[in-house]
Amino acid sequence: MDPHIYPKSAPAAPATPDRKPIVGTANATPQSLNAASKQKADGSPPTRSEEYRDLQQDISHTKTVDLATFAHLIFDMKLKSTDSAPSRNVKAIEAKLDLYLAAAGNRVAHEKTLYDPLNDFLNAIYRGSKDQARIYYTQANRAIHGYRLDRKPDIGHICRRLLNLRDDQNLDDFLREHWIEYMHWLLLLSFVEVKHHNGSALGAHTRKRAKETTENVEVKGSSSKKQKSSGGLAVALASKDGSRLSGSTSASPAADSVPENSGTQIFQETRRQAASYARALFSAGAIRSHAVALVIDDEHFRFVFYCRSLIVESEPGDLKNSIDKRRFISLVQRLHSFSHEQFGLIPNMKLSFLQNVKLESKKRVQEDNGTQDSQPKKSKVDGKGKGKEQAVDAEISQGSLSSSESGLFSSYQVETSEHTSAEASAPPSVPPGALPAAADLPSLVDSTYTLVVEGVERVLRITRDIFRSDGLIGRGTSVFEVDCIQEENVSENGQRTTITPDQSWKGQSLVLKLSFPPSGRTSEGDLIRAASKHAKDNDSRWALKHLPLVVACVDSPDRKGTDPKQTTLQGRLKSQFKDAYEMRSLRATVLEKLEPLSSLKSAREFAQVFYDILQIHRWLYEHPRILHRDLSMANIMYRREGDNVYGVLNDFDLSSFRTRMDEGPTSKHRTGTKPFMARDLLHADWDKVHRYRHDLESLFYIILILSCHYSDPTTQASSLPFKVWFDQTDDLIASSKTDFLISPSPKFPVQTYFRPFTVWLHDICRMLGMGYVIRLVDPDLYDRETLNGNITFKKVMEVMGSFNGEKLVTRWAGGNSGN
């Protein structure tokens, strides 16, 4: 049994720490500008070029540091130029490196010829206990299962014990002679991307020329002194916003500009390609806070660190340089010895499939090894003969939604970056025959998560994978149906006792939500509890039927060791990058399970639920003074009691108390889910905060898209008139929405099932359109809160109070006469 996976003493289960009051929480929500939706309106995933476009915003958060700084920040190691080479296996390591460099020196050979010698070299660096070993293997063009897109890193990094390898078998021979079959992202610890461009894919030559230039420039006013730095570029670098960065740390500029260490397209493409693998690892792998990867271009290399707040990469190193070579070997040795938590996997989650999974292997044939191909490679994005862009990974993990559950009503309906609450898309249906019947792919189902709430330790078993976010930078939300299978009181002295029946979670229908929100934000649990308490204390118990029930909310902040001098990974990153790095906590929220819109039984039930949402949303705004800020299809759910349905406003991750929505940086206030976001919030020129009427506009778009894109609660229409709102960039969507709203005769292609909504849509669209038109005519005297009085709660309530000629149930007679 691997002690890194199942240590003798398990880490302490997370418990909610004391938290100081938070000021200005709205400023912790990043902008949504350019956070393109990654799923199209018809449910299909993006092409490779579209995916790369979407990754640009994440890549703009890249920081580049010298190798010694990278080792300190990420590996907590102090590297010195005088460090000696590792004493273990020195001759074997050198011999394997020579063989790899010889292969890399063959400029006419195919990139594939580098994979096996590179694996031999990387694996030679570790020759410890076989039970604990991690090994590198060739993935090449073999599919990795579990992700919605076809992504294939060249080399994977896994636990050796996953292989069906006899004790007497030679590892190098086995890996050269076999392909690993049915690899899944859940099993991957890390990856290596290989290029054969003599360093160009890493910007190595540009960096070298820049360094040579700056080191030979004399400082003005100095006789002969050269500008030098400790590792990075020789002079301080200016970031895009004009700020200065030290020589050992540089910020990658925005996605649409050329980074200072690259003048080549292949460097940009390699960056995006590696980031796409990291995103797949975050989205379809084990739940993790970060990942470490390698990008190697012949003798040149970079280490890259991906986390939920930024990307850190080392400057290019050179394996032919003795200092760089020793450092590289030391860092790879450290990677080999990483625990699962050091690889970024979250603590307290026990992955059931790791106990017995064994990967199958298939004997290679000669042409698979790439030795027949001696033609020079063409410069292209992937450089490994993958051919045309492939949009869909044919193999989807277990737990994919059935066809009846897919679409806009599920939590998979649209994926965005952190700026939204629905961060992932529905996997496409699994094509017939995509997986052999014998393939038993791993799944998070049956894995367990342990947490402590008010002195009670509980073990939750995952029964269904509902939602996995798809992105790098962001909260990385995952949602699971769970059962409580074990619970006991844990006293301070370690004694365990049985809990009382009224404390028990067993038998309840529960949902576990895991995410990595900024540590400074008020939690969803705190917001919902504040609203529930206000309802109970102020004779507004009706509101409880329309709020989620939070069973528990537990934060695991940055964990510190017993040594007071020891720094944490997040602490080092924060110290290095200051405000550019956002501290995050692992948050586990346990909630009552609610019903999705797709299970409603009639158009009138939809109408009642939307009317309920209008009322509870306004009550939250007026009384506990909470603005939701993320109305979307996935965030509207319901409860059923007999023949009655009660709309429930769900997912308060981006919500904020009104008292804390200050006039800070405007980009921080652009929150929402793109197809349902107000026109203002999508427009680059908007310089105000998120207002109440923006959520009213979102409710309009929800009803509009529901009515026009679905022929019934579970069937998508053949025509999708508002498809562009899912596919395009923010500014284009803003322009499209403006044109639609101000049109003198907007068209509402409502499906027959939802036809009674036409009256609602016409009246609310006219309110919004008139408000936007008047703003263009007389902006100076304009009331932005209500679009000059055109869109208010009272006006929308008058429209939505009846449906198809009959009154709906009004839950709340309140609501002031303002906005």
If one compares 368 and 588, the residue with the highest pLDDT of the two is: 588
The listed range with the strongest mean pLDDT (356-370, 396-410, 465-479) is: 465-479
Which range has the top average pLDDT, 26-30, 221-225, 629-633?
A: 629-633
Whether pLDDT at 569 is above 50: yes
Containing 637, the helix (H) or strand (E) segment is: strand 636-641
Give yes or no for a contact between 192 and 157, defined as CB atoms under 8 angstroms apart.
Answer: yes
pLDDT at res. 164: 84
Share of the chain above pLDDT 90, in %: 59
pLDDT of amino acid 354 = 86
**818 or 97, which is more confident:** 97
Per-residue confidence (pLDDT) for residue 688, from 0 to 100:
80
Work out the pLDDT band at 320, boundaries 50, 70, 90.
very high
Task: Return the ∠ at Cα 362 (arms to 358 and 364), rounded to 5°.
Answer: 145
Mean pLDDT, to the nearest integer, of 21-32? 34
d(CA 738, CA 776): 12
CATH superfamily of the 596-819 domain = Transferase(Phosphotransferase) domain 1 (1.10.510.10)
Mean pLDDT, rounded, of the chain: 80
How high is the pLDDT of residue 524? 94
pLDDT of residue 130: 63
**Per-range mean pLDDT, top range of 20-34, 206-220, 438-452, 668-682:** 438-452
Residue 626 in tokens: 């909470």
Average pLDDT over residues 776-801: 87
Say yes or no to pLDDT of 252 above 50: no
pLDDT at 667: 38
Split at pLDDT 50, 70, 90, the class of 129 is low
List, as one string, the DSSP characters of 259-307.
-TT---HHHHHHHHHHHHHHHHHHHHSS-BSEEEEEEEETTEEEEEEEE
- Match 């896994």 to its residue by tokens: 158
- Least confident segment among 177-181, 645-649, 660-664, 790-794: 660-664
pLDDT tens sequence across 464-509: 999 999 989 999 999 999 999 999 998 777 778 788 888 899 999 9
Q: pLDDT at residue 348 above 90?
A: yes
Identify the helix (H) or strand (E) that includes residue 176.
Answer: helix 171-177
Per-residue pLDDT, 410? 42
* pLDDT-derived band at 420, boundaries 50, 70, 90: very low
Give yes or no for residue 387 having a pLDDT over 50.
no
Q: What's residue 367's pLDDT?
A: 58
Band of residue 34 on the pLDDT scale cut at 50, 70, 90:
very low
Better-predicted residue by pLDDT, 127 or 281: 281
Residue spans of alpha helices (H) in 586-745: 603-622, 679-682, 692-709, 724-727, 730-742
> Regarding predicted confidence, which is higher, 273 or 255?
273
Least confident of 299-308, 369-378, 446-455, 511-520: 369-378
pLDDT surpasses 70 at 253: no
Lowest mean pLDDT among 128-132, 300-304, 359-363, 664-668: 664-668
Q: Determine the average pLDDT of the residues in 64-81.
A: 93
Taking 80 as the threshold, does the pLDDT of residue 795 lie above it?
Answer: yes
**The pLDDT value given to residue 138:** 96
Query: Could you give the CA distance from residue 470 to residue 499 in angstroms, rounded to a whole number?
Result: 38
Q: Residue 189 gets which letter from DSSP?
A: -
Residue 433 predicted with pLDDT over 70: no
**Does 200 have pLDDT greater than 50?**
yes
More confident residue, 362 or 377: 362
Give residue 623's pLDDT band: very low, low, confident or very high (50, 70, 90): very high
| Among candidate residues 271, 304, 254, the one with its CA nearest the CA of residue 31 | 254
pLDDT for position 478? 96
In the Cβ-directed half-sphere of 198, how many Cα atoms lie within 13 Å?
10
User: Quick one: CA dihedral 90, 92, 93, 97, positive or negative?
Assistant: positive
Half-sphere exposure of 530 (CA within 13 A, CB side): 18
Could you tell me if 345 and 288 are in contact, meaning their C-beta atoms sit under 8 angstroms apart? yes
Of 505, 510, 503, 507, the C-alpha closest to 548 is 510
Residue ranges per structural domain of the chain: 45-217+240-369, 596-819
Q: Residue 20 pLDDT more than 50?
A: no
Give residue 226's pLDDT band: very low, low, confident or very high (50, 70, 90). Answer: very low
- pLDDT above 80 for 542: yes
User: Which pLDDT score is estimated for 531?
Assistant: 98
Q: Which helix (H) or strand (E) holds 514?
A: strand 510-515
Between CA 159 and CA 11 the distance in angstroms is 21
Q: What is the mean pLDDT of residues 241-253?
A: 38
Helix (H) / strand (E) element for 553: namely strand 550-556
Q: Which pLDDT belongs to residue 600?
A: 98
- How many whole angstroms separate alpha carbon 635 and alpha carbon 629? 11
Going by their DSSP bridges, the two strands 190-195 and 290-297 should be labelled as: parallel
Spatial contact of 87 and 127, defined as CB atoms under 8 Å apart: no
Selected residue with higher pLDDT from 430 and 295: 295
Contact between residue 801 and residue 810 where contact means Cβ atoms under 8 Å apart:
yes
Please tell me the predicted confidence (pLDDT) of residue 369. 52
**Tokens linked to 736:** 């499209």
pLDDT band per the 50, 70, 90 thresholds, residue 16: very low
pLDDT of 210 higher than 80? no
pLDDT band at 174 (very low <50, low <70, confident <90, very high): very high
Is the pLDDT at 750 greater than 90? The verdict is yes
Alpha carbon distance 156, 159 (integer Å): 10
Contact 137, 119 (CB under 8 A): yes
Residue 796: per-residue pLDDT = 97
Most confident of 43-57, 539-553, 728-742: 539-553
Report, as an integer, the average pLDDT of 31-57: 62
